[in-house]
Amino acid sequence: EAGVAQSPRYKIIEKRQSVAFWCNPISGHATLYWYQQILGQGPKLLIQFQNNGVVDDSQLPKDRFSAERLKGVDSTLKIQPAKLEDSAVYLCASSFSQGARETQYFGPGTRLLVL
């Protein structure tokens, strides 16, 4: 079974530029998550989708971050404009359903450096 795919793996941009990350979850997984992991910290949930609807985006900085999952499968996370403090690893995860008992499967992440 293929795991969660993410691209690109690495991205370097200058502040005020825009960037987009892509995630393809495990086939059949209805729930998709985007996490931000700043160096030295644990992952922090940015947004959770159930199919193509948003379940939780309370920690998403909506003035600069946006995410979509139009067909309920793959997803894109965008930052526009980027700030220095956005330097982090962006992890995508998926689970079969949205219940708290469900195991979340993580992709390898996209490492973003904002200069």
Among 20, 23, 107, CA closest to 64: 20
Q: Assign residue 48 a region: left if phi > 0, alpha if psi is -120 to 50, beta otherwise?
A: beta
Residue span 3-32 as binding mask against other proteins, x where in contact by CB under 8 A, dash where not: -x--------------------------x-
Q: Are 46 and 35 in contact (CB under 8 A)?
A: yes
- Rule CB under 8 A: choose which of 20, 30, 56, 81 binds other proteins: 56
Binding site for other proteins (CB under 8 A): 4, 31, 40-45, 48, 50, 55-56, 91, 93, 98-101, 103-109
